[in-house]
Structure 1
């Protein structure tokens, strides 16, 4: 959506909490004692901030520079008078035909006096005997626009824990935002995967473990008894077969019928020697307990036809399957 002098294109409010272990995946807005770059001719989030809301890997220490196609964030120049604010972001929502999709959103606010007041607050000193939580607030991609359609990205004043001040968070969470554009980016989960109870993508762990020589030799024969299992089958694109961590896309799956499960478990308890093979599988199966606990089982459906039985507490045992086992893991 284009931005005129009366209707500004806007995007998504994206203040979110993430765990402290995810800090390497959090895009950060650089702050500093400099004015924000002023850019002429705001049009839309799709054109001016197409990557807003993406998860961008950054170093765990230090503040990375912004992407080359983004202007530098900083304080609001006294000569710049904002008349509207725009937030560009991304979110996941149910798809129109089931499953889930990722969308890019634009949201607009014109009553921005409280937001401007909060943005002009100073950052507080960090350190000292301040008790801070381990959550990180991920700031939204925010732009301020003036009546000449010039725009800038303001830095957000922070509190003593280095997070956006509470006044800023409160102003961003206000009811003044109007969604003016929504674009579908990609499908996150298909309706078929959702109905099967399977993830849309999964990593071929047999290949990962054998490539890194972590899979142990076949263990003692195990009892074929187990609780009900869910079958999820994935296909690895040819372009990434044999890579470090090939991810497959969902093909079919669902609860494994009891009569087939018994045969599968018997096959997985064999003591057959693992063949010397380095052919990547184009399809693999994942077998997980329906109740979410217990062993995970991975089976190559072509290629080397190996399987891996992984414990939730760590450790994995490699085994050798065959075409009969692969056939038992056909569509349910």
Structure 2
């Protein structure tokens, strides 16, 4: 399958403003030559987790940008003549019958003269005050192959802000790539989660916030809601419990009926301060306005400590103590 310009070139992960600062000689430091590996096999063997760093709902991220600190990465040896480039990564595709899946891909480009020329450029140096944006550019996992099938991971020369030079970004974006292999590596969204309007995985923010010691007591004025709410319930596997940010898998959910929503909100408004407890939940509920509408997110532990957390769009989160009535209202499909 042929593709034109590739979206794999860079990813902007965290947009920010401008930050003035002094960039010293370290920006211009040059790495040594890349280590040459004798025989290319596949992305599945050489880079099995390339592109697998992102966790939903902020979908899972990308591999860290290559640096000269990686012993497998470095400058292209003059005796090594690249004839092809391979990019290993992942993408999300719809599943037959509904939902989505994550697919690992191996793509190859043979017209790489512009890319090789860009990779041979030096780092840009500066010793004065400059302004750099705070966005982080993450290139794809890249390998270069020679006619003997040997390969290496090339260093990407940087600009004065320590990001890949514009020539490198343009060359990566201009590659004509052919997909030579793809394999399903996991389910991103099930048909059931999709039908309910819920994410497949979500973090138990009651545990996150309570263990960090940040929330205040319940504030009933922030709890009532006039907008419809969607219920999403997640099951937390034992391996995730007690972790810093326990992730749950979708169990059931959907829009709340008006009567059920009113009862849930009344139970939340009548609650008192959370009691001291350190038992992680194996199930938790998330109540959110549908379709990204403004309003607080509400998290309720359905077992364990049975606490709840209200996270307003602005201001401090509130932690309160749930009870069996609240659990019963949310603990059924």
Where does residue 57 of structure 2 map in the other structure?
none
Q: 5+ unaligned residues in a row in structure 1: which ranges? A: 1-10, 22-29
Q: Secondary structure at the match of 2:195?
A: helix
Are 1:101 and 2:62 counterparts? no
Do 1:201 and 1:248's aligned partners in 2 also have CA atoms closer than 8 Å?
Answer: yes
Do 1:196 and 1:255's aligned partners in 2 also have CA atoms closer than 8 Å?
Answer: yes
Which one has more relative contact order, counting CA pairs under 8 Å at least 6 apart?
2
Where does residue 299 of structure 1 map in the other structure?
300
Shift of 1:262: 1.0
Shift of 1:219: 3.5
Across the aligned residues of Structure 1 and Structure 2, the Cα RMSD in angstroms comes to 3.1
Where does residue 35 of structure 2 map in the other structure?
37
Are 1:229 and 2:238 counterparts? no
- CA distance in 2 between partners of 1:86 and 1:220 (Å): 56
Shift of 1:261: 0.6
- CA distance in 2 between partners of 1:293 and 1:252 (Å): 23
Do 1:52 and 1:88's aligned partners in 2 also have CA atoms closer than 8 Å?
Answer: yes
Q: Secondary structure at the match of 2:73?
A: coil
Do 1:126 and 1:162's aligned partners in 2 also have CA atoms closer than 8 Å?
Answer: no
Q: How does 1:57-96 map to 2 (within 5 A)?
A: 65-66=69-70, 72-96=72-96
Deviations 1:242-278 (A, max 9, x none): 3333221111111111111111111111145645544
Distance 1:217 1:159, change over 3 A: closer
Q: How does 1:303-318 map to 2 (within 5 A)?
A: 303-318=304-319
Q: 5+ unaligned residues in a row in structure 2: which ranges? A: 1-5, 17-27, 55-60
Stretch moving more, 11-20 or 288-297: 11-20
Stretch moving more, 230-239 or 200-209: 200-209
* Alignment length (residue pairs): 308
Shift of 1:221: 7.0
- CA distance in 2 between partners of 1:116 and 1:223 (Å): 58
Q: TM-score, normalised by structure 2?
A: 0.81
- CA distance in 1 between partners of 2:168 and 2:262 (Å): 58
Q: Secondary structure at the match of 1:265?
A: helix
Shift of 1:237: 1.0
Shift of 1:157: 2.1
Where does residue 17 of structure 1 map in the other structure?
12
Distance 1:285 1:31, change over 3 A: farther
